[in-house]
Chains A and B, each alone.
Chain A
Amino acid sequence: MRKTFLFDAETEEILSRSLIRLKYLYPKAEIKLENKAIIFEGEENLETINQEVHKVVYSEKIYLETLDIRKKIFNDL
């Protein structure tokens, strides 16, 4: 199964970090980043992968966007 997920609106940093995490989660799959698309090639179920890729990308987005706040709060504790 080969599937392309396009994330036009997201930054390179978010997508690069997502790629690392996806490779870590699915070591047997072929996963690469081309322009603003994550290309996934593996045996996994399409619905699961669809959900997982989006979850990973948006989790990285939230993490990066709120990292400064996270740091400030923990520094303050």
Chain B
Amino acid sequence: MNHNLFPYNFEKINSKYYLVTSLAGDFFFCNEQNLQKLLNKNIDENFSNFLISKNFLFGSEGDFYWNNFKYKILKRKILPKTIGYYMIVPTLRCNLNCSYCQVSRVDENTKGYDWDDEILKNFFNFVKKNSLSSIKVEFQGGEPTLRIDIIEKIINWCEQEKIDAEFAICTNLINFNKDIEKVVANEKVHISTSIDGSHDIQNKQRADDKERTSQFFKNFDYISNKYGIEKISALPTFYNFDQIKPTIDFYYSLGLRTIYLRPVNFQGFARKKHPESKTQINTWNEYYFEALNYIFENNYKNKNSFIMEFAFATNLRRVFQKGSNGHLDIRNPNFAGRDNYIIDFDGKLYPSDEARMISRIGLVDLSMGDIVNGPEKEKINNYNWNQISDVNPDCIHCSFQPYCGIDSVDDISRYNRIDLPKHKTSFCNNHISKFRDIFSRIVSNDPVNIFNLTGHLTNIFTLNPPFSKIIYD
């Protein structure tokens, strides 16, 4: 077989090994001597067989290896052609006033910030026109349970129309009355809430009222005891990074299975009270990796009580599971208006919640039509040209490009422009660190890492690695 190499990149991963990744996302590790052989195309039979097994070589255009490579690229890039995910904001009103609220909110008693019947009717028409028979709907806010009547109407409509739908209500769980429970009891409804830490931290950062905080935990316990812990997912927000480990411990004690470690999001109104969140990515990542080690060691020690870190699991799936293209924060291309929409309280359409945030603060208008008149196709097309990393001069030389994503909204939010060199952006620094960490763990052959890599990838924590031979010595 002739030695035709597919496009690839390389990266020094530790003192001993280089990571080599193909454009299709296959990878292996080798020492500097073997990297030189690869660069100079000095490939002997042994090396050639290894490279064929890793899909780095092909014989001729159109052969099995060529088509296999092409299929993998396609799988990594393809997005659904119908809308399968709706994030809707039935009201912007909220009964809390958290310091890092991303999207602004208005007081619980303010008028004019709720969906009306016209928006609801148009939403139903929009779903009929743009979706197939299976959708997910996430109710955001404000506090969406203040309009539990709208949530109930949408769920009932989906059932009537025989749409296979799943629902997530993102609620602060301060109020949990009978009307809300009637909706939540539906097995297709899940609860997503915010838990920043123990009672004291939660009180300080969220409710600022001991009685309300007690009520929150009472409601959390009630739902998890009655419907099972799987009914609820929770996520914290950190601005004091010393609180990360105690919060992880608290999540273990609550029996939660997932934690999403993230700092305050700069993209919305939180930037006013937490301006440091614009540039703190390197500091955050130091704490993040320390926290990840803490989770990994605890999982390994406990052996029967595991927590998965959401960002790690998401990035890991991008490496190993071709077609994990559903997470808007990390996918390429990241086209707007293809498979999801955010529909705000006033019926405006947005490509992501972050786009809604920076539009609300007046930085740029990233609304892309509205529920009555439909999407603005020209605006969407213009936006989408910048949502492809395959033509970016920085990304094309990056070893992590097959797995990474692209997010113009994050760049606009921090720098007011999208053409900054990628290595100077928070998005790039964040993801390069995270992918480098993943591959360092993969090549480490350390049992704690293998145990957690397998667990985060398959939900089954074992010492069997989820990959075959990955080092060419």
Which residues of A come within 8 Å of B, CB atoms? 9, 21, 24-25, 51, 55-56, 58-63, 65-67, 69-70, 72-74, 76-77
Contact = CB atoms under 8 A, between A and B. Distances in A.
B12 interface: yes
B12 A51 contact: yes
Contact of A61 (B39, B74, B393, B421): B39
Given A61-B39, A62-B7, A73-B70, 4 more contacts: A25-B423, A66-B7, A67-B7, A77-B70
Nearest to A60: B397
A10 to B, nearest CB: 10
A38 B86 CA distance: 53
A69 B73 contact: no
A69 B12 CA distance: 25
Contacts of B421: 24-25
A69 B59 CA distance: 12
B74 A66 contact: no
B9 interface: yes
Interface of B: 4-12, 23, 39-40, 61, 69-70, 73-74, 77, 390, 393, 396-397, 421, 423
B385 to A, nearest CB: 15
Contacts, number: 48
A21 B74 CA distance: 29
Contacts of A74: 390
A70 B23 contact: yes
A73 B73 contact: yes
B15 to A, nearest CB: 12
A7 to B, nearest CB: 11
Contacts of A55: 10-12
A55 B322 CA distance: 27
Contacts of A67: 7
A70 B39 contact: no
A72 B397 CA distance: 18
A69 B396 contact: no
Contacts of A24: 421
A63 B397 contact: yes
B39 A66 contact: no
A16 to B, nearest CB: 15
25 contacts: A9-B40, A21-B393, A21-B397, A25-B421, A55-B10, A56-B397, A58-B10, A58-B39, A59-B397, A61-B39, A62-B9, A62-B10, A62-B39, A63-B397, A66-B5, A66-B8, A69-B4, A69-B6, A70-B7, A72-B61, A73-B70, A73-B73, A76-B70, A77-B70, A77-B73
Contacts of B397: 21, 56, 59-60, 63
A60 B74 CA distance: 24
A76 B9 CA distance: 22
A51 B15 CA distance: 12
Q: Among B4, B5, B7, which residue has the most Cβ atoms of chain A within 10 A?
A: B7
Contacts of B40: 9
A65 B6 CA distance: 9
A46 B61 CA distance: 42
Contacts of A77: 70, 73-74, 77
A67 B12 CA distance: 23
Contacts of A21: 393, 397
Contacts of B10: 55, 58-59, 62
A65 B69 CA distance: 17
A59 to B, nearest CB: 4
A44 B397 CA distance: 21
Q: Which 8 A-B pairs have the closest CB atoms?
A: A66-B7, A59-B397, A70-B7, A58-B39, A73-B70, A77-B74, A76-B70, A69-B7
A5 to B, nearest CB: 15
Contacts of B8: 62, 66
Nearest to A9: B40
A20 to B, nearest CB: 10
A63 B391 CA distance: 13
A66 B7 CA distance: 5
B389 to A, nearest CB: 13
A28 B40 CA distance: 32
A21 B392 CA distance: 13
Contacts of A58: 10, 39
Given A73-B73, A76-B70, A59 B7 contact: no
A74 B390 CA distance: 10
A76 B62 CA distance: 10
Q: Among A9, A24, A59, which residue has the most Cβ atoms of chain B within 10 A?
A: A59
Contacts of B12: 51, 55
A65 B40 CA distance: 11
A73 B69 contact: yes
A46 B9 CA distance: 23
Contacts of B7: 62-63, 66-67, 69-70
A21 B9 CA distance: 16
